[in-house]
Structure 1
């Protein structure tokens, strides 16, 4: 029988015998072979265009005939054809055949069962290796839309190839592409969790700070609420609160009612990121939705805001008002807040309420409750109360844990009771509680604070000398090789006296781990006092046991070296610290500045301060005070300018300095102008010291005038100053002029002194008159300078253009007059009170001073 030929793109196949060439009446679209027409949208559910290759294709009629006769030879034939096309990577052609089969009335599942999965998967693997993921996705989408299960087209090799491609895309950091692929595969019914672990995708979203991609990925899973909580928490662990809140807001869009688990997670993340105020707004939003939080949300909110006792108590009261009963965790958080606020009295009240509830059987106190209470009293140095809580704890049958013992030991250590602290340490060992590094450090620190340095070293040597090296398989936890663990973990055998031991010697032996850490060695280095070489040896020992010195270690070493007066050695340690890759912090710089100041190396001290600013390290209050109190007197203009600059920088940084001492030094330096060569060292009077109160801005005024360039015309504005303040400012400027003159600067102009303004017609004695008399007496009688008093009328001499035309003055005078007029409380005519020191008298005075100093 004659065979009909079906022409497909780039291939041709032969139809089976008994095929009818008559096309079915319901065939809707086809493709011409002579010309490639533009694709038109189809109403088929698939996204691709499927067609028969000729207008008179016998394909569908053949399938109808085989279906009607009950034969499946034709169906197998086309299934094999579709499989081979897929193997060659011609997915569009394979899907066209599949669509034609399904449209003819054949069941999609029946046709899929006849496909050669190995061939189809082979084509999928090949395209995935060629990075043609989109073609594979289109095949799976098309198969699903035809009713064919995409999983039926994939074998194990194809799934592995798809998983490798996902991981490759993740390895390139293309998280958006990975999420889009996962969304598509999920739409195809693929088990995406078997391709890549969800935790890996979420980790990539978090590391790249892509909250929107994480939200899209979460929507793929039916348990998206749990995914949202996980994502919010992971962003919070990275400190990315903004991304965590983005996910939180997205989670609320698909919720009819608030998910309290998500709200609680968001509040906890605010605590992790240190933004407790944001946790309050989240809670307020929940309350605004008319939804009552549960106990877990309240506990998280109180825990995050535990640093604010008043707010925590307010939330506790709101919880009671809303009818949410408090549990033991709620009370533990209240005690924690009391501990942070050092409210021992309130902690006692809460403890009394807890004991009452325990007697009533409402709750049972746990180890956290007792440990928190003990810490409250330990921080308050109330060691006796801490021991009483320990007795109550043991009476209630609650076993202390390591936190409890550490707090007890700390309570006695803070009170300076070293023997009591060591006794508690021995009781802890006897009770079978394994101490941690913090316990050892507390004991060593107690010895150092009590100046028992030798005892601290004896304890350390005892722990170290009795160490048992773990050098066999059992000690290595099942290791079968002969390698030695070089970690700084030592196991000591301690002989501890006890009253309850049945031993005739009253001792027992126990093995406890001793793991010295960096802070352990820091405490011991501090115990070296001024012995620099011993401290250096301890630092080398740290390195031998695998510990790296931190910035605290280097800072202590600098302090020890500088304490012996070796400033250069301290500076060398600072350089070695930087070379070791440890960046000095504000404490390090403050320590070495203190070393320089104590050894009168002011140049290095101010140089280090400038280095701090270059490295953008903000000085603290101690740094500023160390520099401001560096000198007991000032000898040069540069020294005064340095300290005044630091004072102004301190004020700009937001600190409120106690400038009484600095004012004394500045006043003493200024009054030094009127000293004569044959006079004894000037001891300035304190009769007017009360005028320089804490609110006085005299230091700022002096700094303002000392920053002017003496090469230009000099003016002194005394407006608003008292006579004592005005005296200091004038003397400061004169001393600046004298030092500049000694350095080679010449006097180029008169010195203008502006006292203030006085309205015309006012006869009362004003403050400016008092200041004027005091300054004239200072300049003429004490210093022998020639002073010319003058006054200019401002606000009356105007011509038609409306501009003031006072007497001829320098440009600086005109600027000063404009400033005074602008700030004048009235626009009435005023008189500008001013004086002028002639440059000739200044020259004569400076010459006399210079000659006197030479003679001296």
Structure 2
């Protein structure tokens, strides 16, 4: 009020400020802040600015500190929106806000609270807004919050006349961090639509994010060339990475040839990443000779291999089963002064196990433990090497590791190595125990003593070793101990113990464990399903077949494509067991009994559909659309189900209906019986001795229905059916009626057949 009255009187604002006691004014501001009246202070500063008074001249150091503390207090309360609003007001008053709170702290709080809009508002307070926007986008990406990062990205485009390529690169990188490479493609397409050419950094980020898709990466590379953007070494490294992921050795060779030509022309200089990626390409393809050739080229070019290079080289020889060569490369790595990591040690041990050199694996392990550097030295090994980086490679070796590094024929290293075993190390050694359960158990105990925790793989290996000796109960006890230790079994664990039960013919436990998997919502994999489907060499009961078919259907629903040829043969064998002779103790299923079911046959689904019915009463069999082979199997499957349920006490209360299909009837069509119908009638009458009635539709006269007791009477049935059809056509000469072809097995015939079967089995 005083300032306004002075302004009206025409006094100069600067002269008025000189008359003020800034210390007293600042003291009043501090008191208002202590009372929480931040709104009054904002009003004061706004009024001063409107009168041409610099608000910063009304605040001394104490007032600025009090204002900073108020901002921090508000931040600690999590009120980030209020903090940004206060900063926005102070900024509007001409106050320097960067000294109140560090911008990084406010932006970090915006990210942690998922407040992208507040972060954008605050970033625009500073001249380097683009840098802050990129930082915020990347921080959201590290949190896996792609939605917030996209919100910041879209907000940044509103005040830009031309696309900011740094921000485009940041959001594309975040798409890669969040695993949404398709979104990165749409962002790139939007940039191209705006008629703006991306720079090399945007192209490299896009190719890197989409490196899992080699064809797309190559398309982007071609577009880059078409737009006149020259590729750099990073571009080629990403292409090689994509070749590695796609296992395209031929293309990697072609790119390497182009790179060597460019290097000779002086266009670029290959780096350690280029060579390491190439070596990994050949290592994954088990082309260890080519990997070693790249190493020679690398050394000739004066490029020093790093830990990735050496690990890939050791892995190349290990994958090829060349254990001696892998150990020699490991020694060269030590001599070169490169610090091995746990992966290098584990690769060597795994190579020994894969080559069945179990004793050698244990000798290497003991040697590394004996010659390992103390724990503190292991941790400081890398820093010591960095401190000696100004020395020549030869001096670096002598400064860190003895110059003589070799392994005896027994695998004992004479050097001090920075070896620290991991859980994976002990898991590999447990595999080297073969069938020695107690040795594997001792390794697990040693693992706990050195401060490592056994994981799912550790327990799975122990279960496999115990079950390998036929001790199914012991394997189940290990599973219980695993749960008691707080480790929840995963799909690998369950599959392992299911395999143990199957191999030891404990099918009840195997299917019980499979049911437990489903209860715990652990999704079976292809190995789990195949282990159960191939559990039996033959089926003896309806329950076994139902279990098998349920697993098969579950496998199909899970998206797996099973190779069901073996399963079809077992189901067919089980079905054909219905027609074995009474004097046979065991049905012989020879090659001549088998029928050819094509790979696209849906017979297993059809059999499952009928066998899943709960009762043997009022059963109908639908064979419409099936071939005669498939129809035979379905009918036999249902009859076997009826027989087993009858043996268990179920009675037969009704006929069995067999639906053959719907067809249009004509004089010629009636005279030609269906092939499927003939096959079923022959099966039921000749092979099983059942009474079958042709249940043709009765149009006009209900007496047109004949029992079929022998194939010789087929002609009578045809004549009767023809008479029915002709009478129907008298009333409607232009329309042929649809006939539902159906067979019926009488309950008396079925009862007699089941009684004979039961008596025959009792005698046997």
Task: Report the TM-score range of the alignment, normalised by the length of the smaller protein.
Answer: 0.7 to 0.9
Q: Counterparts in 2 of 1:5-24, with a 5 A limit?
A: none
Q: CA deviation at 1:824?
A: 19
Distance 1:478 1:806, change over 3 A: closer
Q: CA deviation at 1:709?
A: 2.7
Distance in 2 (CA, whole Å) between partners of 1:179 and 1:808 is: 97
Moved more, 666-675 or 824-833: 824-833
Moved more, 100-109 or 833-842: 100-109
**Partner secondary structure for residue 291 of structure 1:** coil
Distance in 2 (CA, whole Å) between partners of 1:786 and 1:613 is: 45
Q: CA deviation at 1:758?
A: 2.4
Q: CA deviation at 1:776?
A: 1.7
TM-score between the two structures when normalised by the length of structure 2: 0.88
**Partner secondary structure for residue 416 of structure 1:** coil
Moved more, 319-328 or 605-614: 605-614
Contact 1:470 1:484 in 2 (8 A): no
Distance 1:811 1:136, change over 3 A: farther
Contact 2:463 2:478 in 1 (8 A): yes
Residues 212-270 of structure 1: CA distance to partner in whole angstroms, max 9, x if unpaired?
Answer: 22222222222111111111111111222222222112111111111111111111112
662, 681, 684: which is aligned to 1:757? 662
Aligned match of 1:256: 161
Contact 2:397 2:403 in 1 (8 A): no
**Partner secondary structure for residue 756 of structure 1:** strand
Q: Counterparts in 2 of 1:488-637, with a 5 A limit?
A: 511-637=416-542
Distance in 1 (CA, whole Å) between partners of 2:475 and 2:390 is: 36
562, 565, 569: which is aligned to 1:664? 569
Contact 1:490 1:514 in 2 (8 A): no
Distance in 2 (CA, whole Å) between partners of 1:635 and 1:503 is: 58
Residues 254-295 of structure 1: CA distance to partner in whole angstroms, max 9, x if unpaired?
Answer: 111111111111111122122222222221111111111111
Distance in 1 (CA, whole Å) between partners of 2:5 and 2:724 is: 94
Q: CA deviation at 1:385?
A: 1.3
Q: CA deviation at 1:817?
A: 20
Contact 2:381 2:418 in 1 (8 A): no
Residues 14-67 of structure 1: CA distance to partner in whole angstroms, max 9, x if unpaired?
Answer: xxxxxxxxxxxxxxxxxxxxxxxxxxxxxxxxxxxxxxxxxxxxxxxxxxxxxx
Contact 1:492 1:514 in 2 (8 A): no
Q: CA deviation at 1:508?
A: 11
Contact 1:125 1:158 in 2 (8 A): yes
Distance in 2 (CA, whole Å) between partners of 1:495 and 1:630 is: 57
Q: CA deviation at 1:210?
A: 2.6
Distance 1:180 1:541, change over 3 A: farther
Paired residues, number: 761
Distance 1:223 1:765, change over 3 A: farther
Residues 274-323 of structure 1: CA distance to partner in whole angstroms, max 9, x if unpaired?
Answer: 22222222211111111111111111112122222222222222222221
Contact 1:448 1:523 in 2 (8 A): yes
Contact 1:464 1:492 in 2 (8 A): no
Aligned match of 1:650: 555
742, 746, 755: which is aligned to 1:838? 746
Distance in 2 (CA, whole Å) between partners of 1:566 and 1:625 is: 22
Distance 1:379 1:300, change over 3 A: same
Aligned match of 1:298: 203
Q: CA deviation at 1:547?
A: 2.4
Q: CA deviation at 1:475?
A: 7.4
Contact 1:298 1:319 in 2 (8 A): yes
Distance 1:848 1:502, change over 3 A: closer
Contact 1:793 1:806 in 2 (8 A): no
Contact 1:448 1:527 in 2 (8 A): yes
Q: CA deviation at 1:395?
A: 1.4
Contact 1:486 1:545 in 2 (8 A): no
Q: CA deviation at 1:474?
A: 12
Contact 2:367 2:412 in 1 (8 A): no
Q: Which has the higher helix share?
A: 2
Moved more, 628-637 or 672-681: 672-681
Moved more, 373-382 or 578-587: 578-587
Q: CA deviation at 1:417?
A: 0.6
Matched, 1:827 2:732: no
Contact 1:467 1:492 in 2 (8 A): no
**Partner secondary structure for residue 825 of structure 1:** coil
Distance 1:484 1:226, change over 3 A: closer
Distance 1:417 1:837, change over 3 A: same
Distance 1:600 1:477, change over 3 A: closer
Distance 1:504 1:782, change over 3 A: closer
**Partner secondary structure for residue 810 of structure 1:** helix
Aligned match of 1:439: 344
Q: CA deviation at 1:730?
A: 1.0
Distance 1:776 1:200, change over 3 A: same
Moved more, 710-719 or 166-175: 166-175
Contact 1:795 1:830 in 2 (8 A): no
Moved more, 472-481 or 618-627: 472-481
Q: CA deviation at 1:129?
A: 4.6
Moved more, 840-849 or 818-827: 818-827
Q: CA deviation at 1:524?
A: 1.8
Distance in 1 (CA, whole Å) between partners of 2:132 and 2:473 is: 59
Contact 1:211 1:247 in 2 (8 A): yes
Distance 1:494 1:763, change over 3 A: farther
Distance 1:353 1:756, change over 3 A: same
Q: CA deviation at 1:652?
A: 1.5
**Partner secondary structure for residue 723 of structure 2:** helix
Moved more, 596-605 or 450-459: 596-605
Residues 92-139 of structure 1: CA distance to partner in whole angstroms, max 9, x if unpaired?
Answer: xxxx33333333333444444554555544554455455544444334
Contact 1:755 1:768 in 2 (8 A): no
Distance 1:415 1:688, change over 3 A: same
Distance 1:802 1:733, change over 3 A: closer
Distance in 2 (CA, whole Å) between partners of 1:816 and 1:741 is: 35
Q: CA deviation at 1:804?
A: 31
Distance 1:389 1:489, change over 3 A: closer
Distance 1:390 1:782, change over 3 A: same
Distance in 1 (CA, whole Å) between partners of 2:391 and 2:608 is: 60
Distance 1:774 1:227, change over 3 A: same
Distance 1:480 1:707, change over 3 A: closer
Moved more, 296-305 or 556-565: 556-565
Q: CA deviation at 1:750?
A: 1.3
Distance 1:797 1:291, change over 3 A: farther
Distance in 2 (CA, whole Å) between partners of 1:803 and 1:150 is: 111
Distance in 2 (CA, whole Å) between partners of 1:798 and 1:224 is: 95
Alignment gaps of 5+ in structure 2 = none
Distance in 2 (CA, whole Å) between partners of 1:393 and 1:754 is: 75
Distance 1:380 1:625, change over 3 A: same
**Partner secondary structure for residue 396 of structure 2:** strand
Contact 1:383 1:408 in 2 (8 A): yes
Distance in 1 (CA, whole Å) between partners of 2:722 and 2:38 is: 80
Residues 446-479 of structure 1: CA distance to partner in whole angstroms, max 9, x if unpaired?
Answer: 1111111111111111111123435799979999
Matched, 1:311 2:216: yes
Distance in 1 (CA, whole Å) between partners of 2:175 and 2:412 is: 51
**Partner secondary structure for residue 493 of structure 1:** helix
Distance 1:338 1:818, change over 3 A: farther
Residues 731-785 of structure 1: CA distance to partner in whole angstroms, max 9, x if unpaired?
Answer: 1111111222222222221111111122121524799622222212222222222
Distance 1:341 1:131, change over 3 A: same
**Partner secondary structure for residue 757 of structure 1:** strand
Distance 1:601 1:434, change over 3 A: same
Contact 1:354 1:365 in 2 (8 A): yes
Contact 2:696 2:721 in 1 (8 A): no
Residues 785-829 of structure 1: CA distance to partner in whole angstroms, max 9, x if unpaired?
Answer: 222211116899999999999999999999999999999999951
Q: CA deviation at 1:498?
A: 8.0
**Partner secondary structure for residue 753 of structure 1:** strand
TM-score between the two structures when normalised by the length of structure 1: 0.79
Distance in 1 (CA, whole Å) between partners of 2:454 and 2:299 is: 41
Distance 1:262 1:484, change over 3 A: closer
Contact 1:140 1:188 in 2 (8 A): yes
Contact 1:797 1:804 in 2 (8 A): no
Distance 1:816 1:104, change over 3 A: farther
Contact 2:339 2:382 in 1 (8 A): no
Residues 371-416 of structure 1: CA distance to partner in whole angstroms, max 9, x if unpaired?
Answer: 1111111111111111111111111111111111111111111111
